[in-house]
């Protein structure tokens, strides 16, 4: 087909969502003169399919013979859906984490945009008074106070469904009024002007941090906000956001868990008169699409989301905040394995705005960056609002008779606290009734058929279940090994402790908080609300409860089994243990009343457990850092892993050995060490054998270059059936 010579020169380099480690080149669509913009979508052919690609680059020439190339079919957008800074961020992410660009760039689009549909409208389902509703007397409906309140709320104009939900109205209230033709559905734009209400009077430490951040809102800078729990980090966020708002700039807030959104959103809504949107997996697709677009158009002043929100579009990025920056939930452990914190720092750099990393127990990586001056370091050393730090003590449980995990000391403390009308928070990081089911006669334990792991015993409903792959089995009546009938629960999980607590404290409400009891989008919010309005009560939970929640009436915190955290195979195990103990402890006495933390352990002499009691995070983390440095582990130097999952037991290590040999035949860099193949700490999971090689070096760039070589070698390798490999840079999973 004859073409203008200079037209055949132009190529669209596209990221197409397929697992290929590269971009695909296409000729511009036939019959269209204008070229698509970078960051816009094009429909491209691939085999017999048509896929949505993202234009990542426009090339003037190519080494490939243009006759072999196909034409892009259709340009889907007149504007770029992905802005230049986010496009660069996504390209950087694909390169840094060595992940297929097509599967990475797609993260810059909302669910419907990925399907090739236009961006969502930001108009939302809402409700307005009908003429009849407007004419209704204020005193009407006095028998239905919620309906009356809903009418009153709508007297100032229409409200969105979300706004009404957040104000506590239920769909049945809406339905009742619709059926009486008092209100009607309308589409509403949340087009509020941006305004902030007056802040708290910041203390000196807060003021210094706020000043440092707000005086540099137009330039990149990384601020580590290290503040003990309850020190008012959130107030620092609020006041810096207010400064960004005043400049008409948006703020992106990244948090580790959706469970934290309701409390945070509520505090933000109390402070700001500005549209706030959330982005997390708990939202339906339609809401996610709409919020994504509200962020892109600049309608949303504040965007609060979990890790993938780090790629959300922003019209006027002014500030990025990562809360609980040490939290492992900020790292994605499958597909694109990335740290949302690290990507957020890169984003701030590309968008030329400041970033605040906040935590009571910052990661050793961030502590190192703060001590070597790369980050600005702000410390909040006192609890705000005059609250005192909690007092902590160890309870040596060796030889003690525990009742469902509770020592007599802890029970005594609980009795006292509860009798004062205060609240108790107990931490037990094991859900289910008991961590294993054991035969008293022969020692058999219920094990998962798919994983190297025991099955957990659950009573509600009765079953044994693997927490790694989800596989469930009915409770055996007899031992499958010796046919004995003395099957016993071994160890203690949250279900069992809950049961015991209800018996021991029959008049006190007990709330269990784990992933079994907290399913549903609003479970966590409802729980937090209930507890806030209650007096004496007991909360018992796993990690879910240890995160940044604010429970003002808790004055006693019990850690039932600190030792379960000691046996970690991970080199980050000690850091995590220390963070968790500090964080859980931080839930105590956050308001006026002093709090007490009791840590039950069989290892009262363990250096980390002792240190948590005696030392602030700064001292403790410095010790952990120097021991990491001595071992040459991150943040000293860099690590990466080439991981492999395989249905066949030997195929994985054979594959990794072949790649290692090929690598060593071509490369000699004495500063890089390859170690492996090693079995993962859990060698089999969900039916797959898991192995890896570790790439270690003192210089990040060199580790990166080696990984690139390995990836190139692995890509050329013919893979046996049932084998998959992937790259893990700065791995957060144990090695």
Among 184, 529, 204, residue whose Cα is nearest residue 382: 204
CB 330 to ligand ADP: min, Å: 17
Contact criterion met (CB below 8 Å) for 683 and 659: no
Gyration radius of the chain over CA positions: 28
Instruction: Give CA–CA dist 351/363, Å, rounded.
Output: 24
User: Could you say which of ligand ADP, Zn ion, none residue 450 binds, taking C-beta under 5 to 8 angstroms by partner kind?
Assistant: Zn ion
What is the pattern of x (binds ligand ADP, CB under 6 A) and - over residues 523-552?
---------------------------x--
Closest among 186, 625, 189 to 366, alpha carbons compared: 625
Q: Does 450 bind Zn ion (CB under 5 A)?
A: yes
Least Å distance, CB 201 to ligand ADP, is: 6
Q: Give the Cα separation of 545 and 524 in Å (integer).
A: 10
**Minimum CB–partner distance for residue 237 and ligand ADP (Å):** 8
Answer yes or no whether residue 132 interacts with Zn ion by CB under 5 A. no
Q: Under the criterion CB under 5 A, does residue 539 sit at the interface with Zn ion?
A: no
Tell me if 451 contacts Zn ion by CB under 5 A. Answer: yes
With a CB cutoff of 8 Å and minimum separation 6, the contacts of 370 are 224, 226, 362, 376, 377
Q: Does 624 bind ligand ADP (CB under 6 A)?
A: no
User: If binding is defined by CB under 5 A, does position 22 make contact with Zn ion?
Assistant: no
Task: Please list, in sequence order, all residues whose beta carbon lies within 8 angstroms of the beta carbon of residue 489, skipping any fewer than 6 positions away.
Answer: 433, 434, 436, 437, 438, 457, 496
Q: Which is nearer to ligand ADP, 234 or 306 (CB)?
A: 234
For position 482 contacting Zn ion by CB under 5 A, the verdict is yes
Which partner in ligand ADP, Zn ion, none is near 200 (CB below 5 to 8 A by kind)?
ligand ADP
Phi, psi at 344, each rounded to 5°: -65, -40
Min dist CB 321 to ligand ADP, Å, is 11
Cβ-contact 279, 309 below 8 angstroms: yes
The helix/strand/coil state of 555 is strand
Q: Which two tokens stand for residue 504?
A: 């021991």
Question: Tokens 């279940």 label which residue?
Answer: 465
Distance linking the first and last C-alpha atoms of the chain? 55
* Candidate residues 153, 186, 350, 385; the one interacting with ligand ADP per rule CB under 6 A: 385
Over the window 571 to 600, marking each residue x when it contacts ligand ADP by CB under 6 A and - when it does not, the resulting string is -------------------x----------
**Which of Zn ion, ligand ADP, none does residue 72 bind (CB under 5 to 8 Å by kind)?**
none
Instruction: Choose the one of Zn ion, ligand ADP, none that binds residue 227, judging by a C-beta under 5 to 8 angstroms depending on kind.
Output: ligand ADP
655's CB contacts (< 8 A; 6+ apart) are 644, 646, 714, 717, 719, 720, 723, 725
Q: Counting contacts by CB under 6 A, is residue 553 touching ligand ADP?
A: no
> Does residue number 379 form part of the binding site for ligand ADP (CB under 6 A)?
no
What is the full DSSP assignment across 445-460? B-B-SSSSSBPEEEET
In sequence order, which residues have a C-beta less than 8 Å from that of residue 171 and are 6 or more positions away? none
> Count residues contacting ligand ADP (CB under 6 A)?
17
Q: Which of 108, 221, 227, 493 binds ligand ADP (CB under 6 A)?
A: 227
Token pair listed for 730? 């700065």
Give whichever of 360 and 644 is closer to ligand ADP, judged by the CB atom.
360
Closest approach of Zn ion to the CB of residue 488, in Å: 11
Angle ∠(482,483,487) on CA atoms, nearest 5: 95
Q: Which stretch binds ligand ADP (CB under 6 A): 41-49, 230-238, 256-264, 556-564?
A: 230-238
Q: Which of residues 460-479 bind Zn ion (CB under 5 A)?
A: 466, 468-469, 471, 479
What minimum distance in Å lies between the beta carbon of 208 and Zn ion?
50
Span of 224-232, 412-420, 554-562, 727-735 interacting with ligand ADP by CB under 6 A = 224-232
Query: CB under 6 A: which stretch of 44-52, 194-202, 290-298, 496-504 binds ligand ADP?
Result: 194-202
- Among 200, 442, 482, 488, the residue binding ligand ADP under the rule CB under 6 A is 200
DSSP-assigned beta bridge partners for residue 128? 184
Of 110, 206, 291, 646, which lies in the binding site for ligand ADP, with binding defined by CB under 6 A? 206
| CA distance linking residue 596 with residue 608, whole number of Å | 19
Q: Is 229 in the site for ligand ADP (CB under 6 A)?
A: yes
| By CB under 5 A, residue 54 contacts Zn ion | no
Structure tokens at 272: 């700001």
CB 586 within 8 A of CB 229: yes
Measured CA to CA, the distance from residue 5 to residue 2 in angstroms comes to: 9
Beta carbon of residue 322, minimum distance to ligand ADP (angstroms, whole number): 13
Q: Does 384 bind ligand ADP (CB under 6 A)?
A: yes
C-alpha span between 717 and 473 (Å, rounded): 39
* Binding segment (CB under 6 A) for ligand ADP, from list 94-102, 166-174, 231-239, 418-426: 231-239
Which residues within the stretch 389-448 sit at the binding site for Zn ion (CB under 5 A)?
439, 441-442, 444, 448
Q: Exposed e or buried b for every residue in 124-156, given b needs 16+ CB within 10 A? A: bebbbbbeebeebeeeebeeeeebbebbebbee
Residue nearest to ligand ADP (CB): 232
Q: Tell me which stretch binds ligand ADP (CB under 6 A): 39-47, 222-230, 423-431, 493-501.
A: 222-230
CB of 593 to ligand ADP, least distance (A): 13
Q: Which residues of 603-621 are buried (b: 16+ CB within 10 A; e: fewer)?
A: bbebebbebbeeeebeebb
Q: Is 235 in the site for ligand ADP (CB under 6 A)?
A: yes
Task: Enumerate binding residues for ligand ADP (CB under 6 A).
Answer: 200-203, 206, 227, 229-235, 384-385, 550, 590
Task: Enumerate binding residues for Zn ion (CB under 5 A).
Answer: 439, 441-442, 444, 448, 450-451, 466, 468-469, 471, 479, 481-482, 484
């Amino acid at each position: 087909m004859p073409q203008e010579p200079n037209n055949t020169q132009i190529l669209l380099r596209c990221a197409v969502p397929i697992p290929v480690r590269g971009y695909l080149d296409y000729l511009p669509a036939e019959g269209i003169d204008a070229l698509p913009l970078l960051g816009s979508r094009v429909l491209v052919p691939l085999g017999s399919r048509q896929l949505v690609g993202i234009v990542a680059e426009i090339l003037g020439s190519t080494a490939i013979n243009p006759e072999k190339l196909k034409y892009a079919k259709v340009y889907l957008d007149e504007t770029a859906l992905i802005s230049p800074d986010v496009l660069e961020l996504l390209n950087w992410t694909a390169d840094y984490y060595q992940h297929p660009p097509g599967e990475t760039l797609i993260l810059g689009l909302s669910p419907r945009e990925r399907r090739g549909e236009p961006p969502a409208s930001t108009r939302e389902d809402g409700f307005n008074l009908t003429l009849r509703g407007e004419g209704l007397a204020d005193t009407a409906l006095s028998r239905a106070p919620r309906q009356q309140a809903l009418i009153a709320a709508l007297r100032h104009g229409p409200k969105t469904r979300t706004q009404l939900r957040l104000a506590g109205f239920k769909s049945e209230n809406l339905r009742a009024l619709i059926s009486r033709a008092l209100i009607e559905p309308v589409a509403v734009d949340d087009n509020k002007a941006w305004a902030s209400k007056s802040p708290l009077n910041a203390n000196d430490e807060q003021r210094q941090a706020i000043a440092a951040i707000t005086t540099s809102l137009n330039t990149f800078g990384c601020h580590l906000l290290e503040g003990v729990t309850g020190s008012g980090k959130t107030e620092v966020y609020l006041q810096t956001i207010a400064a960004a708002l005043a400049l008409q700039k948006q703020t992106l807030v990244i948090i580790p868990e959706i469970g934290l959104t309701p409390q945070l959103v509520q505090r933000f809504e109390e402070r700001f008169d500005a549209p706030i949107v959330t982005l997390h997996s708990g939202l339906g697709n339609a809401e996610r699409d709409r919020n994504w677009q509200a962020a892109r158009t600049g309608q949303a002043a504040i965007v609060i989301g979990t890790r993938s929100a780090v790629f959300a579009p922003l019209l006027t990025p002014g500030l990025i905040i990562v809360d609980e920056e040490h939290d492992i939930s900020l790292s994605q452990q499958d597909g694109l394995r990335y740290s949302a914190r690290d990507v957020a720092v890169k984003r701030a750099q590309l968008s030329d705005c400041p970033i605040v990393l906040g935590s009571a127990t910052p990661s050793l990586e961030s502590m190192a960056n703060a001590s070597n001056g790369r980050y600005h370091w702000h410390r909040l050393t006192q609890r705000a609002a005059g609250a005192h730090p909690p007092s902590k003590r160890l309870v040596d449980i060796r030889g003690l008779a525990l009742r469902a995990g509770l020592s007599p000391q802890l029970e005594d403390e609980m009795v006292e606290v509860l009798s004062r009308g205060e609240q108790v928070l107990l931490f037990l990081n094991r859900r289910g009734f008991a961590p294993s089911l054991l035969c008293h006669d022969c020692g058999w334990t219920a094990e998962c058929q798919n994983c190297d792991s025991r099955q957990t015993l659950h009573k509600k409903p009765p079953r044994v279940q693997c927490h790694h792959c989800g596989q469930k089995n009915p409770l055996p009546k007899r031992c499958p090994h010796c046919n004995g009938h003395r099957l016993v629960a071994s160890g203690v999980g949250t279900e069992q402790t809950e049961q015991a607590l209800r018996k021991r404290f029959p008049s006190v409400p007990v709330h269990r908080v784990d992933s079994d009891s907290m399913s549903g989008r609003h479970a966590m919010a409802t729980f937090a609300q209930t507890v806030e309005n209650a007096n004496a009560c007991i909360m018992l939970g796993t990690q879910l409860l240890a995160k940044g929640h604010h429970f003002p009436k808790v004055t006693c915190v019990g850690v039932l089994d600190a030792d379960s955290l000691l046996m970690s195979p991970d080199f980050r195990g000690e850091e995590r243990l220390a963070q968790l103990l500090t964080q859980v402890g931080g839930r105590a006495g956050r308001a006026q009343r002093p709090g007490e933390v009791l840590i039950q352990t069989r290892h009262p002499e363990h250096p980390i457990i002792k240190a948590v009691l005696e030392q602030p995070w700064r001292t403790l983390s410095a010790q952990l850092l120097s021991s990491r440095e001595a071992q040459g582990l991150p943040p000293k130097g860099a690590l990466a892993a080439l991981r492999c999952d395989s249905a066949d037991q030997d195929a994985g290590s054979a594959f990794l050995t072949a790649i290692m040999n090929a690598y060593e035949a071509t490369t000699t860099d004495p500063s890089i060490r390859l170690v492996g193949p090693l079995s993962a700490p859990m060698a089999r999971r969900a039916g797959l054998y898991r192995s890896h090689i570790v790439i270690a070096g003192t210089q990040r760039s060199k580790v990166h270059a080696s990984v690139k070589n390995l990836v190139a070698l692995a890509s050329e390798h013919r893979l046996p059936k049932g084998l998959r490999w992937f790259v893990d840079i700065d791995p957060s999973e144990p090695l």
